[in-house]
Amino acid sequence: MRSPYRFTLLGAAALALAAAGCSSGSSSTSSGGTNWATVTSASSGGGMSKLVAAAKKEGTLNVIALPPTWANYGTILKTFTTKYGIKVNSALPDGTSQQEVDTIKQKNGTAAAPDVVDVGVSVALANTSLFTPYKVSTWSAIPAAQKNTAGLWYNDYGGYMAVGYSSKFGTITSLSQLLGPKFKNAVALNGNPTAANAALNGVMMANLATGGTASSISKGVNFFHDLKAKGNFSPVSATGATIKSGSTPVVFNWDYLNLPSYVGVSNWKVFIPQNAVLGGYYAQAINKGAPHPAAARLWEEFLYSQATDGGQNLWLQGGARPVEQAAMNSNGSIDKAAAAKLPAVSGSPVFLTEGQATGAATYLATNWAKAVG
């Protein structure tokens, strides 16, 4: 299960990417002499039909760190292969964002290098030298604040930090309730916040809910210190298995990883604090040394397609909020049934800047163990 550590801040040593088969079309000039490795949009390469033909000739796409249970990626990968007849080599499904870029560095120049990555924004920002610019056909539907102006990376899907909990606790409407006696040993994060970004954001959500700001996470640490003092904080890192067993009946995690359909518990509720709507998105990028450059670009076009079987609606069906959601609401292309299942959000979202995320990580590295253990 990838979810707890997909956003890890301290990447482990990269694991070797599973060997990917060479295809006869791996050359960057796989169709009509076009060098797809330098093409920055489908139109500049001659249009979608030429891109599709070139990608089919390559016949292969290398992806990394995409577990099938994460944000509907199992269906997304199968749909892409069915639609285009392109084989997908999916390596290191439980890998971290840092391992994705480390693998690019290790494998570039070989047929086993990742063609594309799906990484946390902080990792994307730190590794733009590895990426090549490409603007998908729906570029204008991606909010300006959620993409690199040159097209080196762009947000794809995300959500809001939420509290998932067993209905045996009734209805939670405030984080302060979690300090009550009925939550003994019940409240868990999905990792150590000094190493896992989802857990860090769980502490940041508590920080915002208790009057802190995005620039200082100290009140969030104090909240978990109080939870620990009252015996309500569980040191167990929450996973699907711990939720199903009942050992972590209250979990701080991204809303799309806290849905009843994802955790597999029917009596599971989700709460997003009104005064602590903390958002987070992943980012797509194309490896500038992609061994299958046309397939890499077609993959991005597929992921950002607003069609019924396009990536935006498929992510939505997995409980994640697609980056083009506002545009899709306006033009009517959104899967309304899937959108209606998303947890309610009220209030202005907060998105951490790189500096705020770094500051939070630095504070936690020094103070988390002293406050919580």
Q: What is the residue-wise DSSP string for 313-329?
A: HHHHHTT-EETTHHHHH
Contact 319, 71 (CB under 8 A): yes
Assess whether 127 and 173 both reside in one domain: no
Pairing of strands 154-166, 321-322: antiparallel
Q: Give residue 57's domain range.
A: 3-158+280-340
Instruction: State how far the Cα of 56 lies from the Cα of 230, in Å rounded to an integer.
Output: 59
Assess whether 226 and 322 both reside in one domain: no
Provide the 3-class DSSP secondary structure of residue 335: coil
Nearest to 67 by CA among 203, 297, 239, 280: 239
Assess whether 247 and 182 both reside in one domain: yes
Amino acid letter for position 77:
L
Assess whether 265 and 290 both reside in one domain: no
Count of CA atoms in the C-beta half-sphere (13 A) of 312: 25
Assess whether 210 and 149 both reside in one domain: no
Residues 6+ apart with CB under 8 A from 159: 254, 255, 256, 257, 279, 280, 319, 320, 321
Whole-number pLDDT of residue 22: 38
Assess whether 74 and 196 both reside in one domain: no
Assess whether 67 and 132 both reside in one domain: yes
Instruction: State how far the Cα of 187 lies from the Cα of 195, in Å rounded to an integer.
Output: 18
Contact 236, 242 (CB under 8 A): yes
Report the Cα 225 to chain-centroid distance in Å.
28
Assess whether 173 and 288 both reside in one domain: no
Assess whether 24 and 129 both reside in one domain: yes
Cβ neighbour number for residue 306 with a 10 Å cutoff: 21
Structurally, the chain folds into a number of domains equal to 2
Per-residue pLDDT of the chain (373 residues; tens, 9 = 90+): 343 344 433 333 232 333 333 333 444 454 458 999 999 999 999 999 999 999 999 999 999 999 998 899 999 999 999 999 999 999 999 888 889 999 999 999 999 999 999 998 888 988 999 999 999 999 999 999 899 999 999 999 999 999 999 999 999 999 999 999 999 999 999 999 998 888 999 999 999 999 999 999 999 999 999 999 999 999 999 998 999 999 999 999 999 989 998 899 999 999 999 989 999 999 999 999 999 999 999 999 999 999 999 999 999 999 999 999 999 999 999 999 999 999 989 888 999 988 898 899 999 999 999 999 8
Q: Which residue pairs, CB below 8 angstroms and at least 24 apart, start in 30-37?
A: 30/54, 30/57, 30/58, 30/294, 31/57, 31/294, 36/293, 36/294, 36/297, 37/132, 37/288, 37/290, 37/293
Whole-number pLDDT of residue 32: 58
Assess whether 208 and 308 both reside in one domain: no
Contact 256, 315 (CB under 8 A): no
Q: Which helix H or strand E contains 87, and what residues bound it?
A: strand 87-91
Contact 67, 94 (CB under 8 A): yes
Structure tokens at 196: 């896992």
**Distances in whole angstroms, Cα of residue 58 to Cα of each of 223, 291, 295:** 53, 9, 7
Assess whether 242 and 101 both reside in one domain: no
Assess whether 226 and 299 both reside in one domain: no
CATH number at residue 187: 3.40.190.10
Look up the pTM and report it. Answer: 0.82
